[in-house]
Amino acid sequence: MSKDLHLHPLQEDELALGLKLPWTIYSASGQLLMKEGAVIDNQRKLDNLLMNGHREKSGKPGQDETEQGPPPDEPQPVKFAENTNPFAELDEIGYQLKTLFKRIDEQRVKPGEVERKFYEMASQIQGLVLFNSDAVLGAVHLNRQHEYIIQHPLHVTVMAALVGKTLQIPQKVQLSMLAASLTQNIGMNGYQMRLHAQAEPLDKEQRKRVDQHPLVGVKMLTEAGVTDKLWLQIVFQHHEKTNGTGYPKQLKGNQIRAEARIVALGDVYSALVSGRPHRPGLSAQQSLRSIFLERGQQFDEKLSRVFLNELGLYPPGSCVKLHNGEVGVVVKRTSDSRAPRVTSVMDEYGQLFMRMQERDTSDPKYALVANVNPQLMPRLNPTLLWGIKLKRVS
């Protein structure tokens, strides 16, 4: 090693299992430990590097140490036309996601393609959130156009984008976070649908595969050309929990990236409200209560509050019963979280309206009186719930 090089100790947040090294690592005395580009493929190797590793303070000649993630001209949130159908747009992103997952699995991607396409999908979802956040949040509860391995990451990304907008997270960071939320479970796509349909508890081998899927996902993405360090860290950490009971590394508190903690909230919420073949999904209120009770334990206290406030007491897509006996779907949050706007779809006798009616639940006549199990509702077209011209306020 040249005597002109200046070394400094590695920090814990600079390395993670499955990452390719962006620099060569040396011991404090200058002995080579691991070359640039090598993959940290086991915990022992990672622990050794964190304990003994040093790297050049200056990095590569001419290379900015922060030069990772989206390019300087990163995509901005897409601006949609006034007559856009957000549900159709979200479905189309789902088809794009399915195609890209298949290309990654078959190793048929071109250099730079994976990062570029996931950043583009992330910016489209950001645009939909800006265009009509109530409608796309409603899709989390109502839209079942795709199979779970597509539906789930779409819904998690919608919620991460909502929180990212509220917290005004920089665009460069949001793109990495949303790309990670789209790919969080890519390491178990091949067998997730089987587990999703399984009623009995996971056996030992299945549990091991689930615990390893963040590492497998990082490896798959790295091999597909992803170099965005934050993206990969979030995928690796999205099942870690604030109290240290998560996996794969049992990280605690601030050892977990804030962006990974945001993705984790959406991940759990989407899993709770999504039904499985052997059990119905929980209601939005039951799912929110579950997260509320685990704030400060499994989930970050402050981020949990932001998440819960963003969704509200009755998130769009929630099925409810009104004081006059009608049954409907929440379509718009209001400043009073107890009185959202609702589109009534059934009268007090359980008959479907020929023309859906929008109700202002701050009016005592239409006040919310109960939640309704979504499984008891007829199949509804969300486009009509949010957008038909015949809908009127009374």
Per-residue pLDDT of the chain (394 residues; tens, 9 = 90+): 444 556 777 766 667 767 777 788 888 777 888 888 888 877 778 778 877 788 876 443 333 343 467 877 789 999 998 888 899 999 999 999 999 999 999 999 999 999 999 999 999 999 999 999 999 999 888 877 788 899 999 999 999 999 999 999 999 999 999 999 999 999 988 877 777 777 777 788 888 888 889 999 999 999 999 999 999 999 999 999 999 999 898 998 888 999 999 999 999 999 888 876 656 777 788 889 999 898 888 899 999 999 999 999 999 999 999 999 999 999 999 999 899 999 999 999 999 998 888 999 999 999 999 998 877 788 888 888 887 443 444 4
| Identity at 282, one-letter amino acid code | L
Q: How far apart are CA 139 and CA 202, in angstroms?
A: 29
Q: How far apart are CA 247 and CA 238, in angstroms?
A: 9
**What's the confidence (pLDDT) of residue 101?**
96
Residues belonging to the chain = 394
**What's the confidence (pLDDT) of residue 278?**
57
Do residues 174 and 126 touch, judged by C-beta distance below 8 A? yes
Neighbour order of strands in the sheet with 352-360? 368-371, 319-322, 327-332, 341-346, 352-360, 392-393
Task: For residue 27, give the nearest of 60, 53, 49, 57 by alpha carbon.
Answer: 53
**What's the confidence (pLDDT) of residue 12?**
63
Task: For residue 125, give the nearest of 72, 69, 172, 181 by alpha carbon.
Answer: 181
Q: The pTM is what? A: 0.82
Enumerate the β-bridge partners of residue 56.
7
DSSP, res 60? S
CATH number of 86-311: 1.10.3210.10
As given in the structure block, the two tokens for residue 371 are 């939640």
Q: How far apart are CA 299 and CA 309, in angstroms?
A: 15
- CB under 8 Å to 381, separation ≥6 — which residues? none
Enumerate the β-bridge partners of residue 370.
321
Q: How far apart are CA 191 and CA 32, in angstroms?
A: 39
Q: Which element (helix H / strand E) includes 83? A: none
Count of H-run helices and E-run strands, the chain = 12, 10
Task: Tell me if residue 231 falls in helix, strand or coil.
Answer: helix
**What's the confidence (pLDDT) of residue 167?**
94
CA-based Rg of the chain, rounded to a whole angstrom?
23
Write out the residue limits of the CATH 1.10.3210.10 domain(s) in the chain: 86-311
**What's the confidence (pLDDT) of residue 29?**
75
Q: How far apart are CA 29 and CA 22, in angstroms?
A: 20
